[in-house]
A and B are shown apart, each in its own frame.
Chain A
Amino acid sequence: MDVEDIEIELFIRAMQRRHGYDFDNYAPASLKRRVLQLVRTHDAGTISELNRRLLHEDGFVARIIEGLSVPVSEMFRDPPVFRALRDKVLPMLASYPEINIWQAGCAHGQEVYSLAILLEEAGLYDRTRIYATDFNEAALQIAAEGIYATRDARDWSRNYLEAGGLKSFSDYYSARYEFIKIDQRLRRNVTFFNHNLVTDEVFCEAHLILCRNVLIYFNNTLQDHTLALFRDSLVRGGFLCLGTRENIDFSPAAACFVDIDAGLRIYQAATSAVRPMAR
Chain B
Amino acid sequence: MTSRTAIALGCSAGGLAALQCVLPALDKRLVVPVVVCCHTGSADVSLLVELLARVSALPVVEATERATADPGVIYVAPSGYHLLVEPNAHFSLSVDARVTYARPSIDVLFETAADAWQSGLVAVLMTGANSDGAHGLKAVRKAGGYAIVENPETATSDVMPRAGLDIAGADACLPLDQIAQRLNELCMP
Contacts and interface: CB of A to CB of B under 8 A. Distances in A.
A245 B81 contact: yes
Nearest to B67: A247
Contact count band on A: 20 to 34
Contact of A70 (B78, B85, B97, B116): B97
B64 A216 contact: no
Contact of B86 (A27, A245, A247): A27
Interface in B49-87: 64-67, 78, 81-82, 84-87
A33 B67 CA distance: 20
Contact of A29 (B67, B78, B97, B115): B115
A145 B142 CA distance: 45
A247 B66 contact: yes
A34 interface: yes
B66 A249 contact: yes
Given A33-B112, A249-B66, A213 B85 contact: no
Contacts of A245: 64-65, 78, 81, 93
Interface string A240-273: 0001011101100000000000000000000000
A217 B108 CA distance: 15
Contacts of A250: 66
A220 interface: yes
B184 interface: no
Interface string A15-32: 000000000000111101
A72 interface: yes
Given A29-B115, A30-B96, 5 more contacts: A29-B84, A29-B86, A29-B87, A30-B94, A223-B66
Contacts of A28: 86-87
Interface of B: 64-67, 78, 81-82, 84-87, 92-97, 108, 111-112, 115-116
Interface centre among A73, A223, A247, A250 (most CB of B within 10 A): A247
A217 B95 CA distance: 9
A245 B64 CA distance: 7
A46 to B, nearest CB: 16
Contacts of A216: 65, 81, 92-95
B134 to A, nearest CB: 17
Contacts of A34: 96
B23 to A, nearest CB: 22
A76 to B, nearest CB: 13
Contacts of A72: 95-97
25 contacts: A27-B86, A28-B86, A28-B87, A29-B86, A29-B92, A29-B115, A30-B82, A30-B84, A32-B115, A33-B84, A33-B112, A34-B96, A72-B95, A72-B96, A72-B97, A213-B95, A216-B92, A217-B92, A220-B66, A243-B95, A245-B81, A246-B65, A247-B65, A247-B67, A249-B66
A223 B66 CA distance: 11
Contacts of B81: 216, 245
